Amino acid sequence: MKKIGRPVLVGTTSVEVSETLSRMLKRKQVAHEVLNAKQHQREASIIQNAGLKSAVTIATNMAGRGTDIKLGPGVADLGGLHIIGTERHEARRIDRQLRGRAGRQGDPGSSKFFLSLEDDLMRLFGSERISRVMEKIGIEEGEAIEHSMITSSVERAQKKVEENNFGIRKRLLEYDNVMNQQREVIYDRRRQALMGERVKDEIFDMASSYVEKTVAKYFPEGDYEGLRDEIQRTFTVLMDITPEEFQRIGEKGVEDYIMKLVNENYRRKEEKYGVDLIAQIERFAVLTVIDEKWKEHLREMDDLKEGINFRAYGQKDPLIEYKKDGFGLFVQMLEDISKDVINFVFKFTTQEQKVEAPVQRQRMPQRMTTIKQSAEGVGMKMTPEQSDNMQGQPNETKKIPIKVGPKVGRNDPCPCGSGKKYKNCHGKEA
């Protein structure tokens, strides 16, 4: 091909194979270009020159669909671009895309694929059976095999791989569909909180559901104290009924009584803080809690999906187990959202800051002093005997005389007796 001047495009299945072929052609001193996503700046020029005379281009799947190789002057008269496939791909679609680089828009071209029984595709699907047939026929090593049986065997192997990949993608979509359904519910709630005027009705629905579950938990056991403490912690209201009345009014009566207290508490908050502020608090509480709980739920679902395939060892379908456990986690998340929103809204309060008036420091009255030139007239005059005694007393502060010794030279021995020169001993500090 290179002698007659036809451009050649060599298609490989991986970057490793393309680099191996490049080293082999370099040893044969064959000029060529490599297109394998490692030369981003030269990709356009490599594709532009791939259709010139005697051009050799080694490419991976990058030269497949969407790559248009223009033929150079006079190349069409030589037969156009020739495609060489080093092996068959797992999908027939990729082989057809590689073949389609030649013979585009009425231009001439040709393609040829080389196949070995040691290729990954043949090794996984039916290579042993074909090898036994080849041995019986007596085909020697390296001899070209052009038989319909080989072609049909390769197509069957590619079809199996395509079916396997289709099953993997379908399974993955089924896993993703679980999250999509949950995502629609959460996004719908979040959108309602953003666009709705008030989320008061939604909050009271949460409160009613929470009260119903809480009463169903404590009432059958007759645990009045536990129910009262739980309601007080959540709604900051106090149940003012006796245990006898608690049993008399029944489960439904207790629910109605608690919801009446909740409504009164909420009405007092609206009167105290205003309807507009309470509406903002409602929206902020719903959005904040949903965002936090949804992020935690996504992490939990990822952890569940990572280890769900081990359920297959217990003769269980991992997808069904994933749906069941994922639904349980989702229901628990919705309950946590309701509880946290209720706690946020009903425990909301503001702190009033008291502004204290600045305290002015009182100025102390200045003390008046009188200065005398002498001690006469103020009772401080000394007698002649006291004056003679003060003059006779010696001064207690003594002056220490400064002793000046002989000056020591820099190269003289140090007076400390170390044997070193003065400049290398105590002379460093001088």
pLDDT in tens, 133-156: 777 777 777 666 666 777 777 788
Domain count, the chain: 2
Give every strand in the sheet of 33-35, ordered side by side. 33-35, 56-59, 8-11, 81-85, 109-113
- Dihedral Cα 247, 248, 250, 253, nearest 10 deg: -120
**Residue whose C-alpha is closest to residue 206's, from 328, 333, 345, 339:** 339
Cα(41)–Cα(346) distance, integer angstroms: 62
Q: Are residues 210 and 294 in the same domain?
A: yes
Quick check: 258 and 239 in contact, CB under 8 A?
yes
Domain that holds residue 107: 2-114
Query: In the 8-state DSSP scheme, what is residue 112?
Result: E
> Is residue 92 domain-shared with residue 206, that is, in the same domain?
no
* Contacts (Cβ under 8 Å, ≥6 apart) of 231: 211, 214, 237, 239, 258, 261
Is residue 219 assigned to a domain?
yes
At 365, the amino acid letter reads: P
Q: Whole-angstrom Cα distance, residue 50 to residue 84?
A: 14
Residue 314 lies in a domain: yes
Residues 223 and 335 grouped into a single domain = yes
**Tell me, what's the pLDDT at 415?**
80
pLDDT at residue number 5: 87
Q: What is the mean pLDDT of residues 248-260?
A: 91
Do residues 54 and 77 make contact, with C-beta atoms less than 8 angstroms apart? no
Which of 347, 372, 397 lies at the terminal end of a domain, its last residue? Answer: 347
Last residue of a domain, one of 114, 136, 152: 114
- Residue with the bigger pLDDT between 115 and 228: it is 228
Higher pLDDT, 372 or 70: 70
Residues 234, 343, single domain; the answer is: yes
Looking at the fold, whether 102 and 246 belong to one and the same domain comes out as no
Which helix (H) or strand (E) covers residue 27, if one does? Answer: helix 15-27
Check whether residue 102 and residue 196 sit in a common domain: no
DSSP labels, 244-261: HHHHHHHHHHHHHHHHHH
**CA–CA dist 37, 47 (Å, integer):** 12
Nearest residue to 146 (alpha-carbon basis) of 156, 135, 154, 136 = 154
pLDDT at 70 over 60: yes
Task: Report the alpha-carbon distance of residue 265 to residue 7 in Å, rounded.
Answer: 85
CATH number of the domain within which 82 lies = 3.40.50.300
**φ, ψ dihedrals at 33, nearest 5°:** -125, 150
Residues 84 and 202 in one domain: no
For the beta carbon of residue 179, count every other beta carbon within 10 angstroms.
16
Burial class (CB in 10 A: 0-12, 13-18, 19+), 203: buried
Please give the share of the chain, as a percent, with pLDDT higher than 70. Answer: 82
Nearest to 286 by CA among 182, 204, 180: 204
Q: What is the pLDDT of residues 158-190, one digit of tens each?
A: 888 888 888 888 988 999 999 999 999 999 999
In a domain, 372, yes or no: no
3-state class (DSSP) for residue 425: coil
Report the pLDDT averaged over residues 97-117: 87
User: Running DSSP on this structure, what letter comes out for residue 364?
Assistant: P
Residue after which a domain boundary falls, among 94, 114, 134: 114
> What does the pLDDT read at residue 259?
92
In this predicted model, which residue has the larger pLDDT, 380 or 297? 297
pLDDT of res. 22: 92
Phi and psi at residue 17, to the nearest 5°: -65, -40
For β-strands 81-85 and 109-113, DSSP reports them as: parallel
Strand spans (E) along 27-71: 33-35, 56-59
Distance (Å, whole) CA 330 – CA 325? 9
- Dump pLDDT digits (tens) for 191-240: 988 887 678 888 899 999 999 999 999 998 888 899 999 888 888 888 88
Local structure of residue 59 (DSSP, 8 states): E
In a domain, 149, yes or no: no
Q: Is residue 16 part of a domain?
A: yes
Within a domain: residue 259?
yes
Number of residues that make up the chain: 430
- Taking the C-alpha atoms of residue 2 and residue 79, their distance in angstroms, rounded to an integer, is 12
Tokens 């069941």 identify what position? 324
Domain of 325, CATH number, reads 1.10.3060.10
Q: Are residues 231 and 334 in the same domain?
A: yes
pLDDT tens-digit map of 400-425: 565 556 677 777 888 887 778 877 88
For the whole prediction, is pTM greater than 0.75?
Answer: no
205 and 307, same structural domain?
A: yes
Say if residue 223 is in the same domain as residue 316.
Answer: yes
**List of long-range contacts for 166-171, beta carbons under 8 Å, 24+ apart:** 171/319
Residue 85: its H or E element: strand 81-85
- Is the model's pLDDT at 331 over the cut of 90? yes
161 domain residue, yes or no? no
Average pLDDT over residues 56-62: 87
pLDDT digits (tens, 9 = 90+) for 345-399: 988 877 655 545 555 555 555 555 555 555 555 555 555 555 555 555 555 555 5
- Residues of the chain above pLDDT 90, percent: 30
Name the least confident of 22-31, 36-45, 104-113, 225-234: 36-45
Task: Answer whether residue 397 is part of any domain.
Answer: no
188 and 91 part of one domain: no
Average pLDDT, the chain: 82
- From the number of C-beta atoms within 10 Å of its C-beta (0-12, 13-18, 19+), residue 225 rates as exposed
What pLDDT is stored for residue 332 in this prediction? 94
Distances in Å between the Cα of 415 and the Cα atoms of 362, 401, 425 are 66, 22, 10
Same domain, 208 and 110: no
